[in-house]
Amino acid sequence: MIFAPRSRRVATAVGILIVAAVVLALPTPSGRIAAAPAGAGSFRWDRDAYWSALQSRFVERAGSGCHSLAPDIDRLRRVVDAGLASLTATTPPDAPVLDTIEHAFFELGSFVAACPDTVQGYEALQARLRTAAKHRSRDWDMTTTQARSRIYRLLYGSRAALEEVMLHHPDHAADLLAGTAEPSATPSTVVEGIRIHSGDMLVSRGGYPTSALIARGSDFPGNFSHVALVHVDSSGAASTIEAHIERGVAISTATEYLQDKKRRILVLRPRADLPALAADPMLPHRAASRMLARARTERIPYDFTMDYEDPGRLFCSEVASAAYRDEGITLWTGLSTISAPGLRRWLASFGVRHFETQEPSDLEYDPQLVVVAEWRDAETLAADHIDNAVIDAMLEGAERGDALGYRWYRLPPARLAKAYSWVRNRAGSVGPVPEGMAATAALRNEAFSARQRALAADVTARAAAWQSEHDYPPPYWTLLELAREAVAAEGPRS
């Protein structure tokens, strides 16, 4: 037998390794990006001058004292209350009174920010506004842009105004705000002072960069990034069923759910007067029970494509919508749309293929649901707003052509990690690369997260310097300008 010289064997092995590394480093061809949903478009406030005017008026009033501001505060509160009281079942989404309510609520915020004793009254007024808006939207066609824009302006806009005030006076603001005590016949328990029922939905916001992207990355940028379905058994034990990017659909106890990193939670419940619930008040419990049983007996992968009609794979919103769809209730009466070209390009690079879908933030606007309670962490509210501003500025860059890249030399080990993860997934466990996520998507996600964190740290420092100079926290539109400055300081990204 003739043996090749050792040097030749070494050279051959090295050559094979080089060829393998080159092959593993070859980028995956970009797939076709789905077109924007027909008729969709990004919502724009286009009121920068008005926000600046509100800020100027706050500065003028900041040293006036509550006594001198009280007459105007009372006047504006009465305007909002009178407007809400005048709403009827025939009030259309373009009714002038709704503009009056919105304007008065924003104006009132500039007074309340200068008078901390009135913060809790402003919180209560926002709760009344939200309840009235939700009630009136029951008679609107939520598939129309007009109705969708109006409910967004009222709910998202009033929350944004309230949170600006909360950031000025966190010691005067309540973390937990009560909503509507909607009756329910399903099993219930009390968690952190809130009575939750089987079939309720918990809409939350995580503290991760991807959480901020999910919340902001749609035609109607929002505050929430995750949906969980609640199950309560006959003993009062509460569980949540939710889809995680890392491990697919999983079940958690209430304690485990709350231990995960969350900055805000919204509790939503189906209206008791819905025809399906009137006929069967236990319907929400049955929906939750069926999804719980499925999660216990079946491995359900995460759906990165965001196809809400695919029952085999589920993303977080789909856990709730699929459970209720099986019981005859279609949630998200107004589907979410993602139309901006740069945003679609970014999301497609993460694996998203459907741009008419079900975004977590948009579940709040479904008139079939009522808000039972809302909790937000006042201590991390500023960080939440900074993350939003950074994402908004990054997405502006996406529309200018900024790319989501990664270091090319990291692709070979990432593909090996993906192969290892595939083996682990077949054995029923979790690997370093989530099932359904490509190695390139995992690298882009890692690079995106690192960039967002770095920008957020930069904006945090800029915001602290701004606050030190002005003696009050920068409002959101100022945070956005600071984020734009931070992005510009990075230089072009291709």
Phi, psi of 154 (to 5 degrees): -70, -45
The pair of three-digit structure tokens given for residue 270, joined into one six-digit string: 């189906």
Q: What is the pLDDT of residues 339-371, one digit of tens each?
A: 999 999 999 999 999 999 999 999 999 999 999
Amino acid at residue number 137: S
pLDDT computed for residue 63 by the predictor = 83
- Shortest CA distance to 102 belongs to which of 55, 149, 42? 149
How far apart are the two ends of the chain, measured CA to CA in Å?
A: 56
Contact 317, 325 (CB under 8 A): no
The pair of three-digit structure tokens given for residue 365, joined into one six-digit string: 């606007």
Q: What is the pLDDT of residues 123-160, one digit of tens each?
A: 999 999 999 999 999 999 999 999 999 999 999 999 99
**Pairwise pLDDT comparison (63 vs 229), residue with the higher score:** 229
What is the C-alpha separation between 233 and 253, in angstroms, rounded? 12
Q: DSSP E strands: which ranges in 305-444?
A: 336-337, 356-357, 369-376
Give whole-number Cα distances, 306 to 73, 117, 214, 295, 441, in Å. 45, 45, 11, 19, 15
What is the C-alpha separation between 198 and 34, in angstroms, rounded? 37
- 4-13 CB contacts, 8 Å cutoff, 24+ apart: none
Confidence band, pLDDT 50/70/90 cuts, at residue 31: low
Q: What is the pLDDT of residues 271-315, one digit of tens each?
A: 999 999 999 999 999 999 999 999 999 999 999 999 999 999 999
